[in-house]
Structure 1
Amino acid sequence: MLENLFIFLTVTSPKIKRKLWRLWYDFLAKSYQKKDWEFMNYGFADINNQLKPLNLSAEESQNKYFIQLYQKVSSITDLKNKKVLEIGSGRGGGSFFIAKYLSPQEIIGIDISQENIALSKQLYQLPNLSYQTGDSENLPFADNFFDIILNVESSHCYGSMDKFLAEVHRVLKPNGLFSWADLRPINDLKKLEASLSKSDLILLKKENITTNVIKALELIDELKRDKINKNVPTILRHTFSEFAGVKNSKIYNGFAEGNLVYLTAILQKKDS
Structure 2
Amino acid sequence: MTHRPTRIGVQLAPQHTTMQATIDAARRLEEMGVDAVFGWDHFFPLSGDADGAHFEATAQLAAWAVATERVQIGPLVFCNSYRNPDLLADVARTIDHISRGRFVFGIGSGWFERDYLEYGYDFGSVGSRLDALAAALPRIRARWERLNPPPVGAMPILIGGKGERKTLPLVARHADIWHSFVGPDELPHKLDVLREQCDALGRDVDEIEVSNGASVRDGVGGVGFERLDALHAAGTRMLTIPLSGDDTPDGYALDRVPAFLEWRDRKNA
TM-score scaled by length of structure 1: 0.36
Q: RCO greater where, 1 or 2, for CA within 8 Å and sep 6 or more?
A: 2
TM-score scaled by length of structure 2: 0.36
